Structure 1
Amino acid sequence: MSNPLRMLLALCAVLAFAGCASRPPSAPAHVSHVRQVAPTILVSIDGFRPDYLDRGLTPAMSRLAQGGVLAAMRPSFPSKTFPNHWTLVTGLRPDRHGMVDNNMEDAAIPGVKFSLSNKAAVADPRWWGNAAPLWVSAERQGVRTATMFWPGSDTVIQGVRPSQWRLYDEDVTPTARVDQVLAWLDLPPAERPRFLTLYFEEVDTAGHHFGPTSPEVNRAIANTDAAIARLVEGLRARGLGANLVIVSDHGMASTSPDRRIWLDDLLPAGALRQMTAGAFLSAFPQPGFETQVDKALIQPHAHMQCWRKAEIPARYLYGKHSRVPPYFCLPDTGWEITTRAYAATHRTDHGNHGYDPFAPEMRALFLAKGPGFRRGARPPVFDNVDVYPVLARLAGVRPEPNDGDLRELGPTLAP
């Protein structure tokens, strides 16, 4: 054997040994890296404030930001999880797409309250059918999609499901979630998804329980960043120049027991039927209490403003949908609306969201990097409806009519 050949074989052995180190699953031999449309991966880190990147706990995301696009987004109103996740993938505001809150009722679906804990309601297509998310439009246009958790993605929407999807399970670890996305990208080219979603809730959960400045939130930030690092390394190992779009649905504000507005001091028990309380109040007056409720709520309050549904300020673009209750009250950011009975029987949390989307604490993250983006772009704060047309363009999908446009994010896209 010639010396050059012997040296070449030795070098191959060294490279093979180096590849045995712990890392995300490598691409199988059948995966083709022939140039094609880069996959777009939409990642949600629930409750991640943009300023969390300043804590020195996110080396992976900070590296992406250095060479990519970084901005703060203004969530749609109300700044809750389901309304804003649905806005991100439909480009419609909650008043138009119908997911007006995490908790809702609909006269067309009598006797049912939609809530995060009501799995049957969450799986009912009637709650989601007002809008087509991007994966539905993509599948209809022949573009394969895969959803590793996203609100609404495990429900049949307008008769369509993603090509690949998983039923939401909070117990699935961040590592397993990333590895599932990478496994979908390892499928043969004809089966490989072009648009994918990935969802992490740990930061939001810690923010609620312990507050946004807590050590527990810092640990959740670091854990999620490690999952992002695993995803980035897995894409690199596969030679995939994916467009990675990392967003959050809203921010998080600190709360405390000494910043509470007691409904007991305003109305007698039984006067209201609450739909949501806490970071805002949405409610129905009980029969016979209509005049009393109106008088008690529609007046000046310390740390709170209340409106009849039709009088919610126009800047919130909210209040026309039939699922919005007749009365809506919004406290100052960090204050909560509750009752003494509720406070006595539930744990005290130290963080919340749902407040005015113009409050800095409610801002959401937008971080993007990939062949579809310019390097180092820093757009000003923009409305999160503008994410949808960007995703549609990257995925090569004809968008549905939507509330977003490309005036803010268009300049961040590569030619």
Structure 2
Amino acid sequence: MNLLDPVEPRYGHDSLADILPTALSFLGVAGEPDALNLAAELDGVRRVAVVLLDGMGWHQLPLAAADAPTMTDIVAGRLGLGRPITSGFPSTTPVSLVTLGTGTTPGHHGIVGFNLLRPGTGKILNHLHWTGDPDPAVWQPVPTAFTRASEAGLAPTVVTNPRFTDTGLTVSAYRGARLGPGIEADAVAEEMLAALSSSRLVYGYLPDVDRAGHDFGIATPEWHQAAADADRLVTRLVDGLPPDTALIVTADHGQLDIPPDTRIDVDRDPRLTEGVTFVAGEARVRYLHTVEGARADVLSTWRDVLGERAWVVERAEAVAAGWFGPVPESHLQRIGDVVAVCRDRWVLMASRHEPPRLNSMIAFHGSNTTAEMEIPLLVVRR
């Protein structure tokens, strides 16, 4: 298998969007499908714990085998079951958190990228730094799976960094749940296990692996330590699960190390800035908003300049390809007029639009390669 080959998101039967609907179906919530076909593992469970390990893609698990014996045992079938599913597209954290939280596709919930131009405002919204405007209930109008769980009497709990309690991303992904504090592995495990005494659906989030990959690269000592911390969280959950409880472990995306010689700064090439008013998205997937009447020229120029380094298409073609799932009219303009999806290990930096820190990052994600898109589905039943 070539980890740089493209993968289509498997919405509706094997994707991140299918995890919470599947869990809710076995917790007795009417109308929720067993999209992941987990009847043998989840039938009869009374509680479900879900933990998301940011950046721990399916294809990073073998690299972490020595650091992560519990997850390795699950994958091998000694503790449960493990198989790959896909993230949504783009394979990036804000998109994935809302995809998981709503149980719907990115096109449906509208968080279709890391940075998005707010139509009609001339302002870029960074979803990780979203406070106040726009109103999350308007920008992301889809009810979450946690709201559906709450209405069904499951008293859902989300364990995450309390610093982000009132942010737009948290509200968009987790509204309907009680929020519990947890930052590092042991605190997340402790809070999740405590919540299972009163909540029948508990979700926890750990950012460590993603952060280590970005800052130091995959399979570095820092990354291995982060993988070991993630496995410690999973181990504590497995050991502490109450009877008739299932644990589901997943991720939001994988990662790829990007060498210095495969980085293109679009802001420093006049050919790539001509006719472009806004550069959104992120380094592996760019959304280009163009001057009126310039779309065709921008499309042609970007194709000529980037060649085989990126898939460059008009918005309509990107939507028709199914990467986002169905996209309602109200969300179309967020995608931009032209979409550039990086192939192989290429990235499209935007030095004049984005923080300098991005230039020092080692690992990236967001595109549609196997390494970025395939994530774990690990299931343990007690």
Give the TM bin, normalised by the shorter chain. Answer: 0.7 to 0.9
Residue 342 of structure 2: which of 331, 340, 344 is its match?
A: 331
Residues 53-86 of structure 1 deviation map (CA, whole Å, 9 limit, x = unaligned): 3231112223344231100112221111122222
Judging by fraction of residues, say which structure has more strand: 2
Residue 225 of structure 1: which of 210, 228, 231 is its match?
A: 231
The corresponding residue for 1:28 is none
Unaligned runs of 5+ in 1: 1-35, 187-191, 372-415
The corresponding residue for 1:199 is 205
Shift of 1:354: 0.6
Residue 116 of structure 2: which of 104, 116, 120 is its match?
A: 104
Paired residue secondary structure (1:70): strand
- Answering whether residue 288 of structure 2 is matched by residue 283 of structure 1, we say yes
Shift of 1:319: 8.1
Shift of 1:196: 0.7
Shift of 1:356: 1.1
Give the Cα separation in 2 of the matches to 1:61 and 1:122: 39
Shift of 1:149: 2.6
Q: Give the 3 Å change call, closer, same or farther, for CA 361–77 of structure 1 in structure 2.
A: closer
Shift of 1:46: 0.8
Give the Cα separation in 1 of the matches to 2:204 and 2:366: 23
Q: Which runs of 4+ in 1 moved over 3 A?
A: 105-112, 150-154, 268-272, 286-292, 317-321, 339-347
The corresponding residue for 1:155 is 171
The corresponding residue for 1:216 is 222
The within-5 A match list for 1:13-412 is 37-54=45-62, 55-65=65-75, 66-107=78-119, 113-121=125-133, 124-129=136-141, 131-149=142-160, 154-155=170-171, 161-162=176-177, 164-166=178-180, 172-186=183-197, 192-235=198-241, 239-263=242-266, 264-265=268-269, 266-268=271-273, 271-286=276-291, 290=295, 292-299=297-304, 301-312=307-318, 314-317=321-324, 320=327, 321-322=331-332, 323-339=334-350, 345-346=356-357, 347-357=359-369, 359-371=370-382
Q: Give the 3 Å change call, closer, same or farther, for CA 154–87 of structure 1 in structure 2.
A: closer
Paired residue secondary structure (1:116): helix
TM-score (structure 2 length as normaliser)? 0.74
Shift of 1:153: 7.8
Paired residue secondary structure (2:215): helix
Give the Cα separation in 1 of the matches to 2:326 and 2:169: 26
Structure having the higher Rg: 1
Q: Say how many residue pairs are matched.
A: 321
Give the Cα separation in 2 of the matches to 1:154 and 1:124: 9
CA contact under 8 A between 2:115 and 2:281: conserved in structure 1?
A: yes
Shift of 1:114: 4.4
CA RMSD of the aligned region, Å? 3.1
Q: Give the 3 Å change call, closer, same or farther, for CA 245–291 of structure 1 in structure 2.
A: closer
Give the Cα separation in 1 of the matches to 2:101 and 2:81: 19
Sequence identity percentage: 23
Unaligned runs of 5+ in 2: 1-43
Give the Cα separation in 2 of the matches to 1:42 and 1:344: 33
Shift of 1:50: 2.0
Residues 331-359 of structure 1 deviation map (CA, whole Å, 9 limit, x = unaligned): 113210124657994342111111115x2
Q: Give the 3 Å change call, closer, same or farther, for CA 185–319 of structure 1 in structure 2.
A: closer
Paired residue secondary structure (1:100): coil
CA contact under 8 A between 1:154 and 1:166: conserved in structure 2?
A: no
Give the Cα separation in 1 of the matches to 2:373 and 2:125: 26
Amino acid paired to 1:155: V
Give the Cα separation in 2 of the matches to 1:345 and 1:139: 42
Amino acid paired to 2:201: F
Q: Give the 3 Å change call, closer, same or farther, for CA 108–62 of structure 1 in structure 2.
A: same
TM-score (structure 1 length as normaliser)? 0.69
Q: Which moved more, 1:275-284 or 1:260-269?
A: 260-269
Judging by fraction of residues, say which structure has more helix: 2
Amino acid paired to 1:68: G
Q: Give the 3 Å change call, closer, same or farther, for CA 89–268 of structure 1 in structure 2.
A: closer
Amino acid paired to 2:255: M
Give the Cα separation in 2 of the matches to 1:157 and 1:207: 24
Residues 195-232 of structure 1 deviation map (CA, whole Å, 9 limit, x = unaligned): 11000010011111222222211110001111222222
Paired residue secondary structure (1:240): coil
